Structure 1
Amino acid sequence: MGLRFLSFLGWYRLRGGWRLGLLLLLLSGATWPSKASRLPAADSLLQALRSAPSDTVRAKTALRLSAALAPTDTARARHYARHALALSTRTGFAYGQAHSWLQLSALAIIRNDNDRARRYGQLAQRAAAALPRSAAADGRTRRLLAAIANNRGNVADRQGRYEAATQFYLQAVSHLAGTAEVPTTLTVYANLGNSFQALNQPEQAAAYWGQAVALGRATGPVPELAPVYLQLAALQLQQARPDSAWQLLRAAYPIIERHPFYAGEYYGTLGQYYLGRQLPQPARQAFRRALPYATTKGALGYQAKILFNLGQAEAQLGDLSQARATMQRSLALTQQLGDAQQLISNLAALAHLEEQAGQWQQALYYYRRGQQLRDTLAGAAVQARVRELETRFRTRQQAQQLQALRRERAAQQQALLQQRRLSMAYLGLALAALGAGGLLGLLLRHRQRLARQQRELQAQRIRQLEQEKQLLSTTAMLQGQEEERRRLARDLHDGLGGMLSTVKLYLGTVRGRVVLSEEAAALFAQSVDHLDSSISELRRVARNMMPEALLTFGLPQALQDLCAAAQQAGGLQVHLQTYGLEARLDHATEVALYRLVQELLNNVLKHAQARQVLVQLMRHHHDVQLVVEDDGRGFDPNGTRMGVGLRSMQARADYLGGTLDVRSGPGQGTAVSLDFRVPPPTAPA
């Protein structure tokens, strides 16, 4: 079988950011050869379909015609795929049935009809499972199964089932093992990288994308290598590494010149690069060049995102009227798709543009729509999080109980076995020596020793359970604290902040409609200024409770902001040194370290009367060390009762499995250090 496919890219939302979309396989036939590098023209295939000598040949030709029409006319492509399915079913052409269901699944993915795509993928898998597995047919069957697994992974990825998507992609890799399908294997590697990025594992994602790049370079610059470069460039932009993204864009450009199928995705990523560099003019040119490609492919989600970014560039250039028109086009497409997160972003951007233009009523309208949608999503997210936490707690509790029962049963069996053996030995000695009295004493001492051992085992088990209970309680407490901080920060920012912003909009409306005296106007302006200050203070409090820099840019940037804020608030010099943090730690570890540094800096500001503070965070392989040292007045650790702050720091150290050391003395300053280890990352399969 000659496996031909078209790869599609699009932008879609992922946990607060945007990344390139999935690579999709569209098959063009079952047993016919594929010598050309491009799909035949639709007109010639249509003529071949009319003159085909049999239903089997017509089914093959209809599938090839469907694949040729897919990039420009998905409706006609779907018509010919269904025609191929009907012909294959009527003639019992098993390969044609499997290919037809796969083609229909791929076209449903392009239309964002994920439910139908999932059902069609299952039907394709069922039809392929009945194919013969002879030596001659095994190669094409494996390639077909790989394409089905890849597209089922696409559907799972779009539905947010990232673990399931990863399993499907790994199945596709196993099917392709030993075959010469380099473009297909490269496509699956790229999709694996997407899934691991969605699972918040950028190192794993970069590893699979790196394998795809190595595979493409070893066999020559194939067209499928271009989207992989763009995936990596998008990841670098997300991680605030524009120079690395620029190098990847330069590597992709020669392939784009020879194979312009990915030109739209290239210019979209290039526009993102220019926006990040605060260069709105070239960004607008890049997005305008990307838009016709997205329109031709019929990818509505991609069009909506390109229009959204184009509107941002136009707003930065001061062309507010054009920016509003572009944003409204993006909003219409987003409403058609039902993408709630993108819809919130569009409404917020339009509200800001209307406010800049002085259209207070329209700005208020967009703001209210966004707030209602955000509240709806927040409620659903809270319910899902509660269900997830309950399931995790029950599963962990059951596992702990089962493990404890197994340990207790094993200890009892071992004790009984020892008692039986020793009893038999003592009985033999008694019969041999006829020393009943001496044997009785020995037996009593042995039983006492066994009883003592059992008591020690029981006490050890109780201590172990207490330690596990304490660790579970500490973990739950810290997780609850962070969940509560996030909830309060979200409520302050979205709830109270939204109410204050609404009040500001109302006051702006009143200012334009009511004529005030000079004294009343001055008081009115002073009230608006105080309201702005309150909004700024509210946002500062929300950022302190759950800093945006920690979620977006990682621990080093968040610590830098925290140290700068402490230096500005306390009038002291704060020096931050980090080493070995190029790769991010897991989110829970980063939050724990951030809270430790925050608590220590607060203690310095409140009690130390210090002039300088040194904050060091270093990582070497799996060893991590945090040191916070000041030159303040110090204290006597042995003569000071542990307060709430020290207990909180000790709890976080226990949660990380580390050792907390506090060294201080009157007039000698204070040095607090934490040492712990992080588990090694899992290598890609």
Structure 2
Amino acid sequence: MASLLSLLCTPRFSRSRLAPGLLLAALSLPAAATPPPQLPDSLVRALRTAPTDTDRVKTALRLSAALAATDTAQAGRYAHQALTLSRRRGYDYGTAYGWLQLCTLAIIRHDNAAAAYYGEQAQRVADALERRTPGAPRLGRLRASIANNRGNVADHLGQYEASARYYLQAATLLTSLRDSRTLLTVYCNLGNSFQVLGQPAQAARYWRQAVRLGAGPPAAAELLPVYLQLASWHLAQGRPDSANLALQSARPLARPGSLYTGEYYGTLAQYQLAVKQLPAARRAFEQAMPHLAQKGALGYQAKVLLGLGQLEAQAGNLAQARTQLQRSLGLSEQLADPQQVLENLDALTRVEDAAGQWQSALRYFQRRQRLRDTLAGTAVREQINQLETQYRTRQQAQQLQATRQLQEAQQVALNQQRQLNTIYLILLALLTVGVVLGMVLLRYRQRLARRARAQEQTMLTTRAMLQGQDEERRRVARDLHDGLGGMLSAVKLYLSSIRTRGGLPAESAPLFEQSIDHLDSSIAELRRVARNLMPEALLSFGLAPALHDLCLAVQQAGAVPVQLTTHGLTPRLAPATEVELYRIVQELLTNALRYARAGQILVQLMRHDDELHLVVEDDGQGFDITTNKPGVGLRSVQARAQYLGGHLQVQSQPGQGTSVSLELRLPAVASAASSPTTSLAYDANSGSTR
């Protein structure tokens, strides 16, 4: 006996059965649409002020449904009131729903005989309605509610095939009506029946379908019993982690006043019992009992007492465990629940065996076997014998299969190791490539930095050289103008005084006049050189007038028409920028006169916002820019363009002239105001400006 009952204090999770279909009748009222939830006091006032008997029947049924979770006795009185008024007024739908609500309350109280009677009466009225108005949608919901409740009654009586048949009938009706919120309740009940019939896969399938139907947001309140059944199923399968996930989903739905709050705490206690959290399990069982007692759920109270007995057995309190289990057994026998009686006898057998009461343990064991044989029958025993033979045959096959699986597992492990080695090699190769690329990139960046520093140094050198040249030009121009120019002017003044006074020999007069003319030419040439070195107009009046004077001087010197066009040069540019642009134009005009043999020269200087464009074109003989290296003058122009940060482009072909363009972005200063376009053309013959 001791070896037979060695698993005495191991928690055992049975095929628990909640009553998740009980909400169906309460939600399927005969109104056209279900109103939002109301407090019972509000419903009581609505019942007193209802204008018609039909409204009073509907309000009484809703009030009964609202009280079902907390006060089944008061809920029953309102259901009887609705039934009496409906029968007196000949309101058949109210009569059918009145019987249905009484059936629901009897199921909550676990009064199976009364529930069966009320369900038959509701079915009779519904059949009469079906004969008068076949196929009406609200009649379909009524018939589905009745089938669901009758399935609950058959489930409690151990008639599992009949309960599954009723539930499938309800599911068929609700599927055709597309009533998914009520269908999930029926799916939950179907899962219960398949679980008790020993088909857990079918049970889990229906429970998961119920979860999909009730998925929110927000989640349907009817999902609470579904999650509880899933948690119980996972516990029975030895998966407490999965059970905990189901309980976490159920927790937000287990609000105070819910029909299944007590069942939630009971299932939570079973989970805590499974994970050896005995104090927490005890508290959860104690929280469940008031809710169950308040609504009169005797069947689940028996389950809670069974759980408390298992808890005491795990804690080693065998006397208290015996007391709780005997209370649960007595309540289960009173309710005529054979499945619950089996679970209690099994637990009592284990407790008595652990306590050394072998005779009591044997007595409970024999009662359990007799009840199991009664429920199972001869056909089931034969089936068990066949399964035993199949098991022995299968056991030998499994041993061979286990050997093959071990070899396959070793091969898989070897293959996985090879794959890991390959992956490691690939990662090492990628890391090596990454390091090499990083080093190459670093060297490339260092080379770019050195090049940038060299360019910056070259720029600084060029800038210093150009500034030095300009300063030297300015100094030389000033010395020539103020020093030598002043002295030549004084000499001319002296000579002019001599000529005015007279007294020169007649033969010397022509030579004297020629000397004065040469002196005038020398002064003019001195002024021209000084102006070329640093034009006074550039410093005093700006770039446009200075270019005007330069083009005029170039035209007069080379007898070539020069056309100048400027735009947007007011206000003036920075002094250094004006000087460099003047030198660039000066050098390009000099080159055009010296080498191009041009018939006409065009100079355009345009400014728009912070962009400046300079173009110098001639129609001379041109040159091949691919074979001819730039001379000193063009290199000077390129250096000045680079100093300004501009882009210089030279276009030329033999016989097609030359075009030099400079694009320059000016520093961010005050925006240039619009100024009129100035276009000047110089006639080489007349020297006039157009």
Question: What is the TM-score of this pair, normalised by structure 1?
Answer: 0.51
- Structure 2: distance between partners of 1:162 and 1:134: 32
Residue 385 of structure 1 pairs with residue 378 of structure 2: yes
Match of 2:110 among 101, 104, 112: 112
Number of the residue aligned with 1:373:
367
Tell me the secondary structure at the aligned position of residue 25 of structure 2. coil
Residue 264 of structure 1 pairs with residue 262 of structure 2: yes
Shift of 1:246: 2.0
Match of 2:228 among 216, 227, 230: 230
Give the direction of change, closer, same or farther, for the CA distance of 1:618–1:90 in structure 2 (3 Å limit). Answer: farther
Give the direction of change, closer, same or farther, for the CA distance of 1:161–1:71 in structure 2 (3 Å limit). Answer: same
- Structure 1: distance between partners of 2:158 and 2:333: 20
Shift of 1:273: 1.9
- Structure 2: distance between partners of 1:374 and 1:283: 27
- Structure 1: distance between partners of 2:139 and 2:199: 32
Number of the residue aligned with 1:596:
393
Letter in 2 for 1:594: Y
- Structure 2: distance between partners of 1:333 and 1:377: 17
Shift of 1:145: 1.9
Shift of 1:615: 4.4
Letter in 2 for 1:27: A
Letter in 2 for 1:68: A
Number of the residue aligned with 2:204:
206
Q: Deviations over 1:16-71 (max 9, x none)?
A: 643444422233642265331x3531x44344444444443333333223222322
Tell me the secondary structure at the aligned position of residue 220 of structure 1. coil
Correspondence 1:583-662 to 2 at 5 A: 591-597=388-394, 614-616=400-402
Number of the residue aligned with 2:195:
197
Is 1:281–1:317's contact at 8 Å kept on the other side of the alignment?
Answer: no
Say what the alpha-carbon RMSD is for the aligned residues.
3.7
Number of the residue aligned with 2:290:
292
Letter in 2 for 1:595: R
Number of the residue aligned with 2:564:
none
Aligned residues: 393
Tell me the secondary structure at the aligned position of residue 177 of structure 1. helix
Letter in 1 for 2:93: Y
Number of the residue aligned with 2:34:
34
Shift of 1:379: 6.0
- Structure 2: distance between partners of 1:89 and 1:56: 11
Q: Deviations over 1:300-334 (max 9, x none)?
A: 11111112212221332244554454344434433
Letter in 2 for 1:223: A
Is 2:15–2:233's contact at 8 Å kept on the other side of the alignment?
Answer: no
Give the direction of change, closer, same or farther, for the CA distance of 1:354–1:171 in structure 2 (3 Å limit). Answer: closer
Tell me the secondary structure at the aligned position of residue 215 of structure 2. helix
Is 1:347–1:369's contact at 8 Å kept on the other side of the alignment?
Answer: no
Is 1:196–1:202's contact at 8 Å kept on the other side of the alignment?
Answer: yes
Give the direction of change, closer, same or farther, for the CA distance of 1:340–1:197 in structure 2 (3 Å limit). Answer: closer
- Structure 2: distance between partners of 1:27 and 1:197: 25
Number of the residue aligned with 2:168:
170
Is 2:141–2:173's contact at 8 Å kept on the other side of the alignment?
Answer: yes
Letter in 1 for 2:119: G
Letter in 1 for 2:368: R
Identity of aligned residues (%): 49
Give the direction of change, closer, same or farther, for the CA distance of 1:379–1:177 in structure 2 (3 Å limit). Answer: closer
Tell me the secondary structure at the aligned position of residue 142 of structure 2. helix
Number of the residue aligned with 1:337:
335
Is 2:293–2:301's contact at 8 Å kept on the other side of the alignment?
Answer: yes
Letter in 2 for 1:224: E
- Structure 2: distance between partners of 1:327 and 1:211: 35
* Deviates most, 142-151 or 319-328: 319-328
- Structure 2: distance between partners of 1:354 and 1:616: 39
Shift of 1:217: 1.5
Number of the residue aligned with 1:181:
179
Letter in 1 for 2:95: Q
Shift of 1:95: 0.9
Q: Deviations over 1:246-286 (max 9, x none)?
A: 22222222333588543322222222222223332332222
Which is higher, the Rg of structure 1 or of structure 2?
A: 2
Is 1:284–1:314's contact at 8 Å kept on the other side of the alignment?
Answer: no
Number of the residue aligned with 1:556:
none
Give the direction of change, closer, same or farther, for the CA distance of 1:338–1:143 in structure 2 (3 Å limit). Answer: closer
Tell me the secondary structure at the aligned position of residue 241 of structure 2. helix
Letter in 2 for 1:285: R
Tell me the secondary structure at the aligned position of residue 110 of structure 2. coil
- Structure 2: distance between partners of 1:134 and 1:39: 34
Correspondence 1:3-22 to 2 at 5 A: 17-22=15-20
Letter in 2 for 1:130: A
Q: Deviations over 1:484-534 (max 9, x none)?
A: xxxxxxxxxxxxxxxxxxxxxxxxxxxxxxxxxxxxxxxxxxxxxxxxxxx
Letter in 1 for 2:30: A
Letter in 1 for 2:218: G
Give the direction of change, closer, same or farther, for the CA distance of 1:71–1:615 in structure 2 (3 Å limit). Answer: same
Tell me the secondary structure at the aligned position of residue 191 of structure 2. helix
Give the direction of change, closer, same or farther, for the CA distance of 1:310–1:596 in structure 2 (3 Å limit). Answer: same
- Structure 1: distance between partners of 2:93 and 2:397: 67
Give the direction of change, closer, same or farther, for the CA distance of 1:89–1:379 in structure 2 (3 Å limit). Answer: same
- Extract unaligned runs of 5+ from structure 1: 1-13, 390-478, 484-587, 602-612, 620-685
Q: Deviations over 1:428-472 (max 9, x none)?
A: xxxxxxxxxxxxxxxxxxxxxxxxxxxxxxxxxxxxxxxxxxxxx
Give the direction of change, closer, same or farther, for the CA distance of 1:269–1:381 in structure 2 (3 Å limit). Answer: closer
Number of the residue aligned with 2:458:
none
Number of the residue aligned with 2:92:
94
Tell me the secondary structure at the aligned position of residue 71 of structure 1. coil
Give the number of the structure with larger relative contact order, counting CA–CA contacts within 8 Å between residues 6 or more apart: 2
Letter in 1 for 2:378: R
Number of the residue aligned with 1:80:
78
- Structure 2: distance between partners of 1:140 and 1:341: 36
- Structure 1: distance between partners of 2:225 and 2:175: 22
Tell me the secondary structure at the aligned position of residue 62 of structure 2. helix
Is 1:281–1:313's contact at 8 Å kept on the other side of the alignment?
Answer: no
- Structure 2: distance between partners of 1:367 and 1:285: 29
- Extract unaligned runs of 5+ from structure 2: 1-11, 406-690
Give the direction of change, closer, same or farther, for the CA distance of 1:617–1:309 in structure 2 (3 Å limit). Answer: farther
Match of 1:301 among 299, 302, 315: 299
Give the direction of change, closer, same or farther, for the CA distance of 1:312–1:98 in structure 2 (3 Å limit). Answer: same
- Structure 2: distance between partners of 1:617 and 1:130: 66
Question: What is the TM-score of this pair, normalised by structure 2?
Answer: 0.50
- Structure 1: distance between partners of 2:116 and 2:132: 29
Give the direction of change, closer, same or farther, for the CA distance of 1:35–1:345 in structure 2 (3 Å limit). Answer: closer
Tell me the secondary structure at the aligned position of residue 222 of structure 1. coil
Shift of 1:97: 0.9
Is 1:265–1:290's contact at 8 Å kept on the other side of the alignment?
Answer: yes
Number of the residue aligned with 1:459:
none
Shift of 1:92: 0.8
Correspondence 1:170-569 to 2 at 5 A: 170-177=168-175, 179=177, 181-217=179-215, 220-256=218-254, 261-320=259-318, 322-340=320-338, 342-343=340-341, 345-346=343-344, 349=347, 366-367=360-361, 370=364, 373-374=367-368, 376-377=370-371, 380-381=374-375, 384-385=377-378, 479=382, 483=385
Q: Deviations over 1:113-147 (max 9, x none)?
A: 32332232222122123337999993322222221
Is 1:22–1:194's contact at 8 Å kept on the other side of the alignment?
Answer: no
Is 2:126–2:143's contact at 8 Å kept on the other side of the alignment?
Answer: yes
- Structure 2: distance between partners of 1:192 and 1:18: 13
Give the direction of change, closer, same or farther, for the CA distance of 1:175–1:343 in structure 2 (3 Å limit). Answer: closer
Q: Deviations over 1:133-177 (max 9, x none)?
A: 999993322222221121122122222333332232222223223
Number of the residue aligned with 2:520:
none
